[in-house]
Structure 1
């Protein structure tokens, strides 16, 4: 397969079998290089990890479940180093190229899986999402991205970043293969109770008026009850983001401490700097972050207990160009985390998908209660009318 988008890792092909008949028959599967696949190494976007990996002899259970459902494996995909970024760059293996707009970043860390699907090289992109690593590249590449309820999918034989936030998930170009993937991994069907949509005004006030208007118009087209609320939490978006980043950095350091201490020079400077920050955190700050997460989790549980869905933009700002500088990337990451952290702090599912005419340049997200993944799909079907 010709890969002019740098979506895939340059590994020699290995024979990966799949069931002849199943829910995913005919769908090509691209797998982020955090998941073990028998016959391949696992690099996690880092040359030192690749050198130490060896060829895996067993396949991650989630990947195997997809193969057993008939998906055809087409390769392991590029990822941000250690899955610790939202940009899509990698100093070891290069930045994948965004098929929708080659001048823009592809987004990460599930950059290769997103690009493979957007470029038509795969139908189902398997990735992971800690702080937005499925939802953000899905939005930038005009895809549907699903971050499942935390803990609902098997994450064995997947390299961790921050385990209390990490989830495997998928990207597709349309809802049909996403629904098939949900069924293949055992997501229960949604009940038939009426659904209402909440619009948090504090979130919509932070984005461009034209984008906010387009999202609200799309929501109204579904003819479901819509209610505006001031906010979804007593904590500010800024405080929620700080709490999220604090816990993320703490756990990312624990996950990568051994690698950092053995081969600090093998980690790119920006990733290394974030790991060092995690190693230096004050325990008082960590306890405060955990307190805020517990507060928010309780608030979101109460808010979403009755077939309620929160609508929000997937991205807080437009993505930068791939040749932008570190300060621009940092500002983009910081702005987006304020929205992307919400599902992580609450353990909730989130479904991101393009709306609008033609290019799908606006991405809407639906946030639901834990285990309400299929309900989000039902709402998306009404909004997109596929």
Structure 2
């Protein structure tokens, strides 16, 4: 298979079997290089991790479930180093090329899986989402992106970044393929109670007004009850982002401390800087961040207890070009974290999907209570995701 998009890791092919029948038969599966696959190494986007990996003898249980449902493995995909970025770059293996607009970043850290699906090289992109690493590249590449309820999918034989946020998830080109994946991994069907959609004014006010109007028009097209609210939380988006980032950095340091201490020069400077920041966080900062997470989770649980679904933009701003400087990347990451951190802090599922827009690419997200993953799919179908 020709890969002019740099979506896949340049590993020699190994035989990875799959069932000759099943709900995913005929669908090609690209797997982020954080999951073990028998016959392949696992590099996590880092050359030192690759050297130490060796060839894996067993396949991650979640990947095996997909293979047993008939999905055909087509390769392991590029990822931001240690899955610790939202941009899509990698100094060791290069930045994948965005098929939708090669001048833009592909988004990360599930960059290769997103690009493989967007380029038509795969039908199912398996990735991970800690701070938006599925939802953001899905939005940039015009895909459906599903961050499942935290803890709902098997994460064994998956290299961690921040375990209390890490979630395996998927990207597809269609809602039908995503629905098939949800069924194959055991998501329960949605209940048939009436659903209402919440539109938080504070969030929609942060994005371009024309795009916000188009998103709200799309939501209205579902002909479902809509309720507009001023805020979804007593905390500001900025405070929630700080709490999220604090926990993320501490857990990322703990996950990568051994690698950092053994091979500090083998980690890109920007990634190493974030790891060092996590190492310096004190107990007081962590207690405050965890306090905010607990209180926010309680607020969301109470808000969504009556079959409510929150609609929100997936991205806070347009993605930068791939040749932009570090300051542009940092500004983009910081802005997007304020929206992407909500699912991480609460453990709730989020489904991102493209909508028609006259002013550019637009991605709408649905955010629901824990274990309402299938409900989000039903609402997305009614909205008429592109």
- Same-fold call, TM cutoff 0.5: yes
Shift of 1:282: 1.7
Is contact 1:142-1:360 (8 Å) kept? Answer: no
Distance 2:198 2:248 in 1: 28
Runs of 4+ in 1 over 6 A off after TM superposition: none
In 1, distance between residues paired with 2:40 and 2:206? 44
Counterpart Cα distance in 1 of 2:285 and 2:184: 41
In the other structure, the counterpart of 1:14 is 14
Give, in angstroms, the shift of residue 167 of structure 1.
Answer: 0.2
Does residue 73 of structure 2 align to residue 86 of structure 1? no
Query: What residue is the counterpart of 2:249 in the other structure?
Result: 249
Aligned to 2:384: 384
Tell whether the 8 Å contact from 1:23 to 1:184 is kept in structure 2 after alignment: yes
Q: How does 1:167-178 map to 2 (within 5 A)?
A: 167-178=167-178
Instruction: Give distance in 1, aligned partners of 2:228 and 2:146.
Output: 24
Deviation per residue, 1:266-319 (Å, 9 max, x gap): 000000000000000021111000000000000000001111000000000000
Match of 2:106 in 1: 106
Hey, what's the Cα distance between the residues in 2 that align with 1:147 and 1:141?
Answer: 16
Question: Residues of 1 paired with 2:384 and 2:71: CA distance?
Answer: 25
For structure 1, the residue ranges without an aligned partner over 5 or more in a row are none
**Contact 2:197 / 2:224 at 8 angstroms: preserved in 1?**
yes
TM-score, normalised via structure 2 length: 0.99
Question: 1:158 aligned to 2:158?
Answer: yes
| Aligned match of 1:76 | 76
Q: Is the 8 A contact 1:354 1:360 kept in 2?
A: no
Deviations 1:62-121 (A, max 9, x none): 000000000000000000000000000000000000000000000000000000000000
Secondary structure at the residue paired with 2:153? coil
Q: Give, in whole Å, the separation in 2 of the partners of 1:222 and 1:8.
A: 38
Alpha-carbon distance, 1:337 to partner: 0.1
The C-alpha deviation readout for 1:47-72, integer Å capped at 9, x for no partner, is 00000000000000000000000000
Corresponding residue for residue 51 of structure 1: 51
Matches of residues 137-156 of structure 1 in structure 2 within 5 Å?
137-156=137-156
- Give RMSD over aligned pairs: 1.0
Instruction: Give the superposition deviation at 1:371.
Output: 0.0
C-alpha distance in structure 2 between counterparts of 1:141 and 1:359, whole Å: 16
What is the distance in 1 between the residues matched to 2:81 and 2:302? 37
1:154-196 deviation digits (Å, cap 9, x = unpaired): 0000000000000000000000010000000000000111110
Indicate whether 1:184 and 2:187 are aligned.
Answer: no
Residue 209 of structure 2: aligned partner: 209
Contact 2:211 2:362 in 1 (8 A): yes
SS of the residue 2:156 aligns to: coil
TM-superposed CA distance for 1:357, in Å, is 5.2
- 1:326 alignment partner in structure 2: 326
Q: Give structure 2 stretches of 5+ with no counterpart.
A: none
Going from structure 1 to structure 2, the CA distance change for 1:360 and 1:349 (only over 3 Å counts) comes to farther
